[in-house]
Amino acid sequence: MTNALAIYKDFDGLQRAAMALKSSGYFKDVQTEAQAIVKVMAGSELGLPPFASMSGIHIIQGKPVLGANVIATLVKNDPRYDYRIKQADDKACVLTWYENGNKVGEAGFTIQEANGAGLTGKDNWKKYTSDMLFARAISRGARRFAPGIFGGSPVYTPDEMGVDTDEDGYIEGVSVTITEPTPDPVEEVIADAGPVLPTNGHDFGKRPYNPTTLKAALTKKAAEIGTYNASEKQRNLLGALLSEHYQGDDAKRYEASLYLFGAASTKDIEGAMVKKALDWLNPQKDDGGAYAIDAMAQKELSGVLDAAQVAQGQDALL
């Protein structure tokens, strides 16, 4: 299993791979660069290369979702775990599970269970009954008998999240993004602000964040939202807060914004990133009615400009 801290240390490399794959246009469920980066990051934690991560991993309602083929591959690639097929037909799929060569149990899924869950009326269940039974059996068995392949995170197949798949367990259709409504008033933005950066097992619990951790946290959290139409008021507020921090120096503001959010101008930042940037900055009104950045966010911003300049220098050498 790839160490999570090493993954975030190589965040720039993962970002470049994800952006290249997203730009190819071959992965229709990925609508933003942030979503692509999160998929590649999630796959890296599981030991998957970028292409396999883009093909076989989906983020649905904030949960990592893997195709049955990917789960089976992770099991077979892990020296601790293995499974053998005991039954695989249109009536049931039963798998016998092993850990370190010892039998530890059986897990399966039957057509009766599928009927009870209202699954068999779906087109993919009619076409690929035995494959869908296998997908449910492999995910159930992996959670029960091989949780180590997931690094402790609960993982599901697309079908378990109500998304149709093909016979290999890959998502059918174009998009699985959950879209949030767009708030208009600035006050609504402020009411939603707060310490909501991710703490899902990574080293995001201790603040202030260094610039690399901050960038990774914002990217991950923005991807969990999916497509989001940030209002003009939100974008203007973000720009004003950054301008205030950098004392009106637009060059510094643009450099920091490009490093953190992937775009220099607030007009070009992805909507989900605008929202999460405001959540992070957590602005509060002062006595004069002006918005001021949260003290913790100010500390974290203090190192961003240097990191941005270093990153630009590194890119120039590539």
The answer as to whether 303 is a domain residue is: yes
The answer as to whether 174 is a domain residue is: no
Let me know whether 19 and 112 are in one domain: yes
pLDDT surpasses 70 at 22: yes
Collapsing DSSP states into helix, strand and coil, what is residue 99? strand
Let me know whether 133 and 218 are in one domain: no
Most confident of 61-70, 270-279, 283-292: 270-279
What are the pLDDT digits (tens) for 208-247? 888 888 888 888 888 887 778 888 888 888 888 888 888 8
Q: Name the packing angle between helices 250-261 and 304-317 (round to 10°).
A: 70
Instruction: Please give the average per-residue pLDDT across 149-157, as a whole number.
Output: 69
Let me know whether 145 and 286 are in one domain: no
Report how far residue 297's alpha carbon sits from residue 318's, in angstroms, rounded to the nearest whole number: 31
Let me know whether 98 and 62 are in one domain: yes
Let me know whether 150 and 44 are in one domain: yes
Let me know whether 128 and 241 are in one domain: no
Let me know whether 13 and 154 are in one domain: yes
| Residue 81 binned pLDDT confidence (cut-offs 50, 70, 90) | very high
Q: Name the packing angle between helices 271-281 and 211-225 (round to 10°).
A: 130
Let me know whether 236 and 310 are in one domain: yes
Enumerate the H helices of the chain as residue ranges. 4-9, 11-23, 33-46, 50-56, 68-77, 111-116, 123-127, 129-145, 186-192, 211-225, 232-245, 250-261, 271-281, 295-301, 304-317
Specify the amino acid at residue 279. Answer: D
The answer as to whether 179 is a domain residue is: no
The answer as to whether 178 is a domain residue is: no
Report how far residue 69's alpha carbon sits from residue 56's, in angstroms, rounded to the nearest whole number: 8
pLDDT surpasses 50 at 254: yes
Look at the chain and report how many structural domains it folds into.
Answer: 2
Let me know whether 134 and 204 are in one domain: no
The answer as to whether 168 is a domain residue is: no
Let me know whether 149 and 10 are in one domain: yes
Domain that holds residue 202: 186-317
Instruction: Please give the average per-residue pLDDT across 52-76, as a whole number.
Output: 79
| Residue 141 binned pLDDT confidence (cut-offs 50, 70, 90) | very high
